Amino acid sequence: MSLVNFKPERITVHCAGTANGKKLTIHNVRKWHIDERGWDDVGYHYFIRLNGMIETGRDLGTQGAHVRGDNKNNVGICLAGTDCYTKEQLHSLRALINQLRETYRIPIWNVFAHNEFTKKKTCPGFSAKLLVCFLLMSRGYEPMRDHLIPS
């Protein structure tokens, strides 16, 4: 469903719900969403692999399918893993969110973790408060130390 007036106003961070450290690509997630869920495409706009590579999912001009009932103008970013991530993933997450925030003038308080939308979800394994602290740092990983895969 293409939306002419799609204007990113929020960002929601997700996890793939796979084993931490398991290699995964946007193609794997797209196949899961289409073949097993019956969707017309992958639900996320971006996917971050273990090596930090950012892959494009659903076109940014198209509404995502990643937060039930809250997808309007909401950009979905998914990290490979469940609750622990590589430094490369976190570095790319920070860069991508900051780029989206700057490009679309998205305020920091409009950056969410998926678990804020429903008590049934723990995804992405950390709180939005922790994510915001991490984003406000220019570098380093201290706020996320409990969510790092050992190097």
Q: Which one from 14, 33, 45, 66 is the annotated catalytic residue?
A: 14
7 is catalytic: no
Read off the tokens for 151. 């190097």
Q: Which one from 15, 44, 45, 147 is the annotated catalytic residue?
A: 44
Distance, CA of 140 to CA of 76 (rounded, Å): 24
Q: Which one from 45, 66, 114, 147 is the annotated catalytic residue?
A: 114
44 is catalytic: yes
Within the chain, residue ranges assigned H as helices are 26-31, 87-104, 128-136
Within 3-122, residue ranges assigned H as helices are 26-31, 87-104
Distance, CA of 59 to CA of 30 (rounded, Å): 13
Beta bridge partners of 55: 47
Q: Which one from 121, 123, 129, 147 is the annotated catalytic residue?
A: 123
Active site residues: 14, 44, 114, 120, 123
